[in-house]
Each structure stands twice: as structure tokens, then as C-alpha cells.
């Protein structure tokens, strides 16, 4: 069994991408299943095989501990870690080739609290990797791009999983797509774009962060996709196969 953790900022398209990858594997005769780790989500664009909402109920947590929605979400997330044995039993029972793991809308709940890392480390699955979603709609400037790349790198450090970076919502961003792809592949172009947006302290900080990130190879192979038109999905699948199957592709 192989697993793919799908992570990214709130609204970046994690849940929709999860459903699209599931459709792809299913269409190609591979057995994939979905684990939803988001306790706060109301509706999902797929039917999940395993759902943490079966174990923790945010509304009753709010009542029981007299918490508002944010506090309840934090507590609910932490409680999920204590259900790991039951979640593992369900995973073993379904036993898919690919387990797609949709993570909470608020990325910090999964990536920075102890529970997310605990699940990543302690679920018994042969191979684990992650996809980080750069939300195309958020990248409106080169500085935004560097900020999100910094987040992607921070989360990669935190989770310690092999990661593929994708850029979502290419159907919404028009000609900006070309700029973003240039920034992601050419450090000089990106530094130049930053110098046109900022000077002084912001310029110095952004370019220094960027050089540090670049040493870690952050944006190599940023894959542009649209969950709506399906554009770029073939490239994503190739990258997934390369990372998780060591080159052995799902049969078309």
C-alpha cells in the first residue's frame, strides 16, 4: 500500500484534487481509497472510504467543552491522533493499492500541531509521500510566490515526506501562469520581478529567503494543474508514478 498526503492552504483545492486522483486511479484499474482527515468539513466532492468525522464530532466538542469553532477544531484535530488504532484497522480492512489522504482545510492544524506529524509517522503504510498545493489564485505577485514556497518548504521539513509541488486553478489565472512558471524555473527572472515589486528591507529579505529555498531545490518541477478542466493531470500522474512507484506506471 502506498499513501499520498494532500496538503496545502485552505481552499487551495486539496479535496477536489483528491477526488480527481481517485478518479484517475479507478479509471486505470488501480484500487485507490480515500481517508478524510478534516473533522470540520461539511461536504466533500467524493465519498470517503474512511472518515475521521466518524470518530470525532466537532459540534458535540463545542458543546461539551464550551468552545468556539476555532478552539473546537484544534481540540478535535488533536483527538484524531488518539483514534489512530481504529483508523489503522479501517485502512487495513480496505487495504487499497493507493490511499489518498485529504488533510484539514487549515494547514497549520495538520502540519504544525503534534497530531498531524504523529499520524504521518505512525500510520503503518509501506510508502508515504505528499503533494503540496500552491493555490494559483493566491499567487498574485512574486513576493506571494516566495511566501508560499517558504510555507511549502516549511511543511516539507515538518512532515519529512517526499513532496511534489503543484500549482492549482490554472484555469482561473490566465496569463499570470506564464509568469509563475518562469519564476519557478528561473531564479534570475524571479529576482528581477521581486526588484520591481519591492525595495529596501522587503527586497533583501525576499531574495535571501529565495536563495535559501533554491538551495533546497524548492520549486523544481512545479506542476500546473486545473482540477476543473483536467489540464496538467497527466503530468501530475507521471510525477506521482516517478515518486511513489519508482517509475512503474499505472497501466493505461
Ligand X SMILES: Nc1nc2c(ncn2[C@@H]2O[C@H](COP(=O)(O)OP(=O)(O)O)[C@@H](O)[C@H]2O)c(=O)[nH]1
Contact positions toward ligand X, by CB under 6 A?
8, 10-16, 105, 168-169, 171-172, 226-228
**Measured from the CB of residue 53, what is the shortest distance to ligand X in angstroms?**
14
Residue 156 and residue 125 in contact, taking contact as beta carbons nearer than 8 Å = no
* Interface map 80-109 toward Mg ion (x if CB under 5 A): -------------------------x----
Residue 137 and residue 169 in contact, taking contact as beta carbons nearer than 8 Å = yes
* Residue 237 binds which of Mg ion, ligand X, none (CB < 5-8 A, kind-dependent): none
CB-closest chain residue to ligand X: 13
* Residue 169 binds which of Mg ion, ligand X, none (CB < 5-8 A, kind-dependent): ligand X
Residue 158 or 232: the one with the smaller Cβ distance to ligand X is: 232
Q: Which of 3, 9, 12, 15 binds Mg ion (CB under 5 A)?
A: 15
* Residue 157 binds which of Mg ion, ligand X, none (CB < 5-8 A, kind-dependent): none
Residue 20 or 128: the one with the smaller Cβ distance to ligand X is: 20
Residue 3 or 206: the one with the smaller Cβ distance to ligand X is: 3
Residue 164 or 194: the one with the smaller Cβ distance to ligand X is: 164
Strand order through the sheet with 2-8 = 50-51, 32-36, 98-102, 2-8, 127-135, 163-168, 223-224
**Measured from the CB of residue 101, what is the shortest distance to ligand X in angstroms?**
12
Residue 45 or 212: the one with the smaller Cβ distance to ligand X is: 45
Unique residue bearing C-alpha cell 484517475: 24
Q: Does 9 bind Mg ion (CB under 5 A)?
A: no
Q: Does 18 bind Mg ion (CB under 5 A)?
A: no
Residue 36 or 184: the one with the smaller Cβ distance to ligand X is: 36
Q: Which range of residues in 10-18, 64-72, 85-93, 193-201 is near Mg ion by CB under 5 A?
A: 10-18
Q: What are phi and psi of 198, to 5 degrees?
A: -145, 160
**Measured from the CB of residue 15, what is the shortest distance to Mg ion in angstroms?**
3
| Residues in contact with Mg ion by the rule CB under 5 A | 14-15, 105
Amino acid at each position: 500500500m502506498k499513501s499520498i498526503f494532500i496538503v496545502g492552504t485552505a481552499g487551495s483545492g486539496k479535496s477536489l484534487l483528491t477526488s480527481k486522483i481517485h478518479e484517475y486511479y479507478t479509471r486505470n484499474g488501480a484500487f485507490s481509497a480515500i481517508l478524510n482527515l478534516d473533522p470540520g468539513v461539511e461536504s466533500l466532492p467524493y465519498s470517503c472510504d474512511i472518515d475521521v468525522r466518524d470518530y470525532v464530532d466537532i459540534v458535540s466538542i463545542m458543546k461539551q467543552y464550551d468552545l468556539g469553532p476555532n478552539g473546537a477544531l484544534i481540540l478535535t484535530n488533536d483527538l484524531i491522533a488518539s483514534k489512530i488504532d481504529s483508523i489503522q484497522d479501517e485502512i487495513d480492512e480496505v487495504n487499497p493499492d493507493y490511499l489518498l489522504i485529504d488533510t484539514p482545510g487549515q494547514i497549520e492544524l495538520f502540519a504544525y500541531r503534534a497530531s498531524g506529524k504523529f499520524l504521518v509517522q505512525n500510520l503503518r503504510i509501506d510508502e508515504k509521500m505528499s503533494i503540496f498545493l500552491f493555490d494559483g489564485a493566491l499567487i498574485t505577485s512574486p513576493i506571494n510566490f516566495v511566501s508560499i514556497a517558504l510555507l511549502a518548504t516549511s511543511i516539507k521539513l515538518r512532515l519529512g515526506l517526499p513532496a511534489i509541488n503543484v500549482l492549482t486553478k490554472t484555469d482561473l489565472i490566465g496569463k499570470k501562469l506564464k509568469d509563475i512558471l518562469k519564476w519557478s524555473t528561473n531564479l534570475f527572472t524571479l529576482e528581477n520581478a521581486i526588484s520591481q515589486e519591492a525595495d529596501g528591507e522587503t527586497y533583501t529579505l525576499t531574495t535571501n529567503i529565495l536563495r535559501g529555498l533554491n538551495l533546497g531545490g524548492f520549486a523544481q518541477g512545479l506542476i500546473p494543474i486545473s482540477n476543473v478542466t483536467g489540464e496538467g493531470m497527466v503530468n501530475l500522474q507521471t510525477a506521482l508514478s516517478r515518486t511513489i512507484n519508482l517509475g512503474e506506471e499505472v497501466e493505461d
